[in-house]
Structure 1
Amino acid sequence: MDTNYGMEIVRATEIAALTAAREQGLGDYREILNHARAAIAKTLNRLRIDGFVVNDRFQNRDDLFPMPATLGQGGPTMDLMAIALEAHHSAANGGNNATSYAVIAPRGVIQSVPNLNMYKIVVGPQVGNVIDINQPPIINVKRVARALRKYTENVTVCILNQARHKQLIKEIRECGARIKLIEEGELSGCLSAITGEKTDLYLGYGYAPEGALVAAAISCLGGYFEGKIFYENDRDREQAEEHGISDFEKIFRPQDLVRSKEVAIAATGVTDGEFLEGVRFTSNGAVTSSFIARAETKTYRKLETRHFFDYKPVF
């Protein structure tokens, strides 16, 4: 991509994060999610592109703001993926890991996936592709430990604290690895594992659309990921076929979900999390923490932006 779109889409994640942060802890998760979705759509619509929105997990929800199918003022034809507010329940309750994300790539680069469960295993570039989703969790933890030259007991595994992970948590504990349980925000956990800043390995069930965003992050930052979509019935399989997926046993890897190095990703924290700090309001504005990454150059920026509402209100 000739244009560094990462610097463009981060404005959208910042506006979405600032919008959501104003309603942090007020308890209405639909309201905070709706406002964040409207804010990110409005800002992305200013881009000089013909943008096609892909992998919107809340598409066709009558109770939520409808993300337009296309965004932009005209220009190159692009894929856009926007997760206006991950961990929206957490944000509404004043919890951690609420974040706004956006991804941009030329049209057809981002694989469209059904809104179904996906089991994921995510590691950083120091670990590489030694993991295998078909192996037991203990085997993968030991492989990560070997790659990082750590004792198994010093490996940190991030897992969502959900009932369906009860057996997974039990197995990880049996092998002696450290566990970091998070209530919500799988993408924060995955990015933490990719960068290796707070976590060595992410394991567990989440959503397939988020898998595409993880693949975009790995394209930009390095690392490795494997994911497997789970189909409970024929309706799920029919839904997958609508997205061009016919191999129902397929193990998805980064190159399957993001098919080019022409991709950029941006994120801004709403509340403090595993990867980014949340919005901090000041007497005349706010401070946001964001990151931008671009696959073509492997450029990775972390930004602290100070917004002065006295000069140009954003709301």
Structure 2
Amino acid sequence: MEVPSKNLALDLTRVTEAASLASARWLGRGDKNSGDKAAVDAMRKSFSSLDIDGTVIIGEGEKDEAPMLYNGEQLGTGNGPRVDVAVDPVEGTRLLAYGRPNAISVVGVAPANTMFNPGPSYYMKKLVVPEAASGVIDIDAPAGENLTKIAKAMDKDVDDLTVFVLDKPRHAKLIDEIREVGARIALFTDGDITGSLMAVDPHSDIDVMMGTGGTPEGVLSAIAIRIMGGSMQAKLDPQGGGEKTALINAGIDTRHVLTEKELVKSDDLFFAATGISGGSFLHGVKFTGKGAVTHSMSMRGLTGTIRYMEAVHNFRTLMKVSAVPYD
């Protein structure tokens, strides 16, 4: 199997920086499509200069007239290693459109043919915990049982735990179960990649991520979880009849429990994320008049290195050498 021979993590950070800088102009303007298109265009142009032979496995659907990096699209110059690519130019398009925190731009890369292809699956039930609780979780067990075991593994009381949950009607029962056992809840309207990252990041106040979010986002999260440590269990969780029928027709067993190691079958991984709207995870883009400041995280799987970076961008000099529309 051909694998990347260099550290792509910093190159990928430039990709997410470009997407964040381009999309941040649309913060709070109520137009999520334009914000997403700005990020997609910047990300695609940034990828065009990378020496990789990349195929989008986790993208934004089939190719059509919408602004997206579509599943199966080829990225890079074609001269480098063959890799699977997962992208989310704006995770949290509604967060960006309405000026809410925690919109981020995300990219993950793995050797070719190692990344789980979600096929017709859109939704996935997830349970993410830090390394200390990796061996005690069971996604099929009641929430209270899991939280009791997680608290013990982390040497905490249950009422010390903070659980990330998406604030969706489908989670009404889950929220009741968490409250009944006494754990604290942090409700977020969107952004389950952020929730997964926060659950395994020792700098975060989040201890656990629970609930159903996007399947593509689950695969992207698995890349970071493998690098950062921690554990993820997931099951495909169709939310409509059409999705369920498509999974049945594709012969996919929704009862199977997936782990982070099944969602991405390699340690030779790269991951980058840059904040767009700011918040509790990564600071957002700050425009300075002459340029901007961004905050990113960059990871390499083989070394386990995680970098948190502040970058100062000077538009006057940057635009002389860059084709990416930063402003």
TM-score range, shorter chain: over 0.9
Match of 2:73 in 1: 69
The whole-number CA distance in structure 2 between the counterparts of 1:288 and 1:35 is: 16
Match of 2:217 in 1: 210
Match of 2:31 in 1: 28
Is this contact kept in 2: 1:189–1:275, CA < 8 A?
Answer: no
Is this contact kept in 1: 2:60–2:68, CA < 8 A?
Answer: no
The whole-number CA distance in structure 2 between the counterparts of 1:64 and 1:142 is: 44
1:79-106 Cα shifts (integer Å, max 9, x gaps): 1111100000110110011000001111
1:135-181 Cα shifts (integer Å, max 9, x gaps): 00111111111011111111000101111111111111111111111
**Please, which moves more after superposition, 271-280 or 204-213?**
271-280
TM-score normalized by structure 2?
0.91
Q: Percent identity, aligned pairs only?
A: 34
Is this contact kept in 1: 2:19–2:105, CA < 8 A?
Answer: yes
1:109-154 Cα shifts (integer Å, max 9, x gaps): 1111134210100011122131110000111111111011111111
The answer as to 2:296 corresponding to 1:312 is no
The answer as to 2:219 corresponding to 1:223 is no
Per-residue deviation, 1:237:
5.1
TM-score normalized by structure 1?
0.94
Per-residue deviation, 1:41:
1.3
1:48-79 Cα shifts (integer Å, max 9, x gaps): 11110112134345433454710111221111
The whole-number CA distance in structure 2 between the counterparts of 1:246 and 1:77 is: 27
Per-residue deviation, 1:233:
4.3
- How many residues align structurally? 313
Q: 2:92 aligns with which of 81, 84, 87?
A: 87
Match of 2:108 in 1: 103
The whole-number CA distance in structure 2 between the counterparts of 1:215 and 1:275 is: 17
Q: What SS does the corresponding residue of 1:296 show, helix, strand or coil?
A: coil
Q: What SS does the corresponding residue of 1:102 show, helix, strand or coil?
A: strand
**Please, which moves more after superposition, 55-64 or 2-11?**
55-64
1:195-233 Cα shifts (integer Å, max 9, x gaps): 141200000110111111111011111100001102454
The whole-number CA distance in structure 2 between the counterparts of 1:272 and 1:93 is: 13
The whole-number CA distance in structure 1 between the counterparts of 2:155 and 2:37 is: 45
The whole-number CA distance in structure 1 between the counterparts of 2:182 and 2:243 is: 40
The whole-number CA distance in structure 2 between the counterparts of 1:307 and 1:300 is: 22
RMSD: 1.7
Unaligned runs of 5+ in 1: none
Where do 1:183-202 residues align within 5 Å? Answer: 183-196=189-202, 197-202=204-209
Summarize the Cα distance change of 1:270–1:257 in structure 2 as closer, same or farther, 3 Å threshold: same
Q: What SS does the corresponding residue of 2:26 show, helix, strand or coil?
A: coil
The whole-number CA distance in structure 1 between the counterparts of 2:249 and 2:291 is: 47
Summarize the Cα distance change of 1:235–1:164 in structure 2 as closer, same or farther, 3 Å threshold: closer
Is this contact kept in 2: 1:113–1:240, CA < 8 A?
Answer: no
Amino acid at match of 1:102: V
Q: 1:116 aligns with which of 116, 122, 126?
A: 122
Summarize the Cα distance change of 1:265–1:256 in structure 2 as closer, same or farther, 3 Å threshold: same
Amino acid at match of 2:226: S
The whole-number CA distance in structure 1 between the counterparts of 2:254 and 2:180 is: 31
Is this contact kept in 1: 2:128–2:209, CA < 8 A?
Answer: yes
